[in-house]
């Protein structure tokens, strides 16, 4: 059963109030507002969150010990005791070359977190491939990481293919 505060929050969100404004009004964190609105179907989960959930399930199904972190944490998951950030990208045409581009600079500044992150899991949205990349190999980057298509053609970085998600990301 939905609490009256939650009903009010959903009504205010539908009327155009932002999640930040709702957090301030209700005295809770913005991530808590997003979780509540998503749980009750008033807000669609972001592609990044859906990708994280699917990767965590994939890893658990493979027998790994996985703990998904809260949204305001400095990384996305702990996998067998290692700190992991999960990124996803669609295929892009950049200057005539097909590549995947991963944003590594976000609100918590991943570039500042590379000293605590052990590795990244990079997901390709078109085919659901999951690549593992040592965080130390990209510690010099400031904003983004581009990998060629196919990813195995990368000369500079050596991502390791660890498997495929069962369905396309964003495609159901």
Kindly report the length of the chain.
172
User: How confident is the prediction for the chain on average, in pLDDT?
Assistant: 82
Per-residue pLDDT of 88-118, as tens digits, reads 888 888 778 888 888 775 444 455 566 688 8
Does the pTM surpass 0.75? The reply is: no
Separation CA 120–CA 6 (nearest Å): 35
What's the mean pLDDT in 74-83? 92
Per-residue pLDDT of 123-150, as tens digits, reads 988 888 999 998 888 877 766 777 877 7
Predicted pLDDT at 94: 77
């Amino acid at each position: 059963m939905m609490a009256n505060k939650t009903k009010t929050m959903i009504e205010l969100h539908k009327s155009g109030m932002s999640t930040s404004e709702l957090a301030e009004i209700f005295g809770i964190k913005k991530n808590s507002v997003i979780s509540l609105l998503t749980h009750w179907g008033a807000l669609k989960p972001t592609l990044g969150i859906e990708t994280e959930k699917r990767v965590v399930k994939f890893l658990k199904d493979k027998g790994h010990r996985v703990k998904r972190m809260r949204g305001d944490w400095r990384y996305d998951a702990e996998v067998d005791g290692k700190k992991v950030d999960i990124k996803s990208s669609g295929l892009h045409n950049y200057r005539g070359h097909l590549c995947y581009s991963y944003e590594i600079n976000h609100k918590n500044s991943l570039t500042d977190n590379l000293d605590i992150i052990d590795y990244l899991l990079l997901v390709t949205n078109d085919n659901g491939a999951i690549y593992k990349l040592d965080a130390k190999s990209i510690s010099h980057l400031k904003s983004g990481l581009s990998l060629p298509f196919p990813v195995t053609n990368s000369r500079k970085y050596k991502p390791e293919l660890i498997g495929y998600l069962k369905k396309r990301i964003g495609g159901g």
